[in-house]
Each structure stands twice: as C-alpha cells, then as structure tokens.
Structure 1
Amino acid sequence: MTATQPFSSAEATAWARLVAVSELLPTMLDAQLQRDVELTHFEYLVLSVLASSPDRTSRMTRLASQTNATLPRLSHVARRLEEKGLLARFPCPQDKRATNARITDEGLAVLDRAAPGHVATVRSNVLDALAPGELDQLAAITASILSKLDPEGRLSATQCDAAKDRPEASARP
C-alpha cells in the first residue's frame, strides 16, 4: 500500500481557502434571499432550474439530479414551494409513476424580484473581488473541479456554457 502524499504548503492553503469559501458563501446567499423573498438559496436554485427547463417543467428525479439533491430533500422543498404557490407538482403524462414539477407564474415573479438582489450580492461578494482576468481563471478552475465531481454533467452549473446564448437563462444566476 502506498502512503498518501501530504499536502504541500501551497496545496494546504488553496484547500483551506476553498473550504472557507464553500462554508461562507451559502450562508451569505441564504441571508440575502431570505431577507428579499423569503427563500433559501436551494429553493432559489430549484426555481431557477425549472424556469430554464423546457415548458418550465422537469421530472422530480431529473430536478434532483440537476440540483444535487436527494429525492426526499427535493420533495420536502417542493412541498414548501408548493405551499407558497411557487411550484406545482403533477403526474408525468409519459410515465404515471413519475412526478413532474413546474414553476408557476408566481414562482417566476418571485425569481424576477429576487434576481437583482441576488446578482448584487454575488457581484459585491465574489465577482468584484476578482482582478481582471481572474474571472476566466475562476471559470476554468471550477470547470476542472466539476469535471471530476460531476463527470456526467448532471448539475445545472455544468450546463452554463449552453445557457450563455439564452438571455432568459442568464438573467437568473
């Protein structure tokens, strides 16, 4: 059995900083969205993925995959969104055993209200912290990491290049 190589100083620093960002960013995004539209960031993500889906609809299993959620977690969140009138669930017409989710007009309206604050929060806390050229580096670095973590490209983040050309998709990050 081969011994695991310990982190170099540069690797330890990069890893610690990535972990710190991954811990701090969700809390900051949740706080802004809770304040502005009473949604968590995950709820916002679910609605955003649905808004970008054909006919604003997706099978729950596909939506779970695209948002990296377990089906029970997604079902719980979908129930909350349904209670708020932001999402509707219904049997899949092609497979009665499956359930579809569709964002409602009110859900789209909430996304539209949330988007300016969300964009401003992301811009002021993440994008504006980057020097010219670092945005492309960040995109390349995260693409490399995602290719290892999500080789099938199931998460909505891995589909961003295809969405660039659709203005309605880029309006809701």
Structure 2
Amino acid sequence: MTKWLNPTEQRAWRTLVALTTRLPAAMDTQLQRESGVTHFEYLVMALLTEEPGHRLQLSELAFKANASLSRLSHVVTKLERLGWAQRETVRGRRGAHAVLTDAGYRKVQDTAPGYLDAVRALVFDGLDDARTAELVELGELLVAQLDAGLIRGIGRPAGHPAPLTDDEPPDGS
C-alpha cells in the first residue's frame, strides 16, 4: 500500500525540490553572465585551489564535487580546452590528476567575488547565525539520509556504484 505524504511532508518536499532546482539554476545564470562559467565548472576549479599543488586525482575530485566520474571528465576536458586545467597521469596507479593551471587559478580569483555575492544574496543574507547553523545541521542530516538510501540502491541506476563511505577511500586503495 502506498504511504502518501502528509500535508507537512508534501510542503517540505516541494520546498526542497524548489530549492534544489532553482538555486543551481540561479547560480549558473549569475556565473555564466558575469564570468562565462557554470556553477559546476567553478566548483571544480575552486576545489582544486584548496589542494596541495592545485591537483587532485579525478576520482577523488568527482567525490568531492558530488559528481559522476563521467560528468567530471567532461568538465575537465572543457577546462583543458580553455587552458584552466590539465590532466596528469598518476605514476604507478590507474587514473589521472586534474591540475589547475595558473590561468585557472586566476579565473577562480576573478570569479570569486561575484560568486560569493550571489551566494550571500541568494542564501545567507536571509539567515542569521542560528538559522545558518540549523541549515548546516539539517543539510548534513539530509545528505546522510540520501547516502544511506543510495547505498541501499534507492534512486541509483542499476549497475552504478553506491556512494563511498567514510572508511572507503575514493581511489579504491
């Protein structure tokens, strides 16, 4: 028998769907208009700025960016064409590193002010510190719930691996 959502659950679900569809679209629009990059492209480059040598194995970068290796690979190929990233083989191991170039680092630096203005305007300007802490707590709880469902096979296409757990490194070692 189908267990329908009660009115409060339905309202919460529709609010979550609106947030998860409208916020990425708004960020894409803002970033493309101001800097010529998508939100995901910026995220990938920003993640690389946080790594030693601005490099990270593709599988680990995909994990950190919450993306499939295929999606990440397509974006890294585009970033390579633009001169903002390059791939390097990993000696003695399968896979490759994505490496942010100096031009890519400058692109992140140039894009960051507009990106942060958009994040603040679209999310944080409407929240005080207590609400921001609640958002962190609720977001982490929902991500854990999502990961638990994916591990059980809910919402994951057949043949696709489950998300990594804390005791399972992204490179499979």
TM-score by length of 1: 0.80
Unaligned ranges ≥5, structure 1: 155-173
How do 1:44-55 residues align onto structure 2 when only pairs under 5 Å count? 44-55=42-53
Q: Calculate the aligned-residue CA RMSD, in Å.
A: 1.8
Matched, 1:122 2:119: yes
2:62 is aligned with 1:98: no
Note the C-alpha offset of 1:107.
Answer: 0.9
How far off its partner does 1:150 sit?
Answer: 3.6
How do residues 1-173 of structure 1 correspond to structure 2 at under 5 angstroms?
3-95=1-93, 97-150=94-147, 152=165
- CA 1:48–1:18 in structure 2 vs 1: closer, same or farther (change >3 Å)? same
Cα distance in 1, alignment partners of residues 36 and 132 from structure 2: 30
- Alignment gaps of 5+ in structure 2: 149-164, 168-173
Change (3 A) 1:119 1:113: same
| Structure 2: distance between partners of 1:120 and 1:153 | 33
Taking structure 1 as reference, are residues 29 and 36 closer, same or farther at Cα in structure 2, changes over 3 Å only?
same
Identity of aligned residues (%): 35
The TM-score, its normalising length taken from structure 2, stands at 0.80
Instruction: Check 1:153–1:47 CA distance in 2 against 1; reply closer, same or farther (3 A cut).
Output: farther
8 Å CA contact retained: 1:58, 1:101: yes
Question: Structure 1 residue runs of 4+, over 6 Å off?
Answer: none
Q: Secondary structure at the match of 1:27?
A: helix
Q: 1:57 to 1:150 in 2, by over 3 A?
A: farther
Separation in structure 1 between the aligned mates of residue 142 and residue 118 of structure 2, nearest angstrom: 24
Structure 2 CA distance for partners of 1:153 and 1:129, relative to 1, 3 Å: farther
The whole-number CA distance in structure 1 between the counterparts of 2:166 and 2:117 is 28
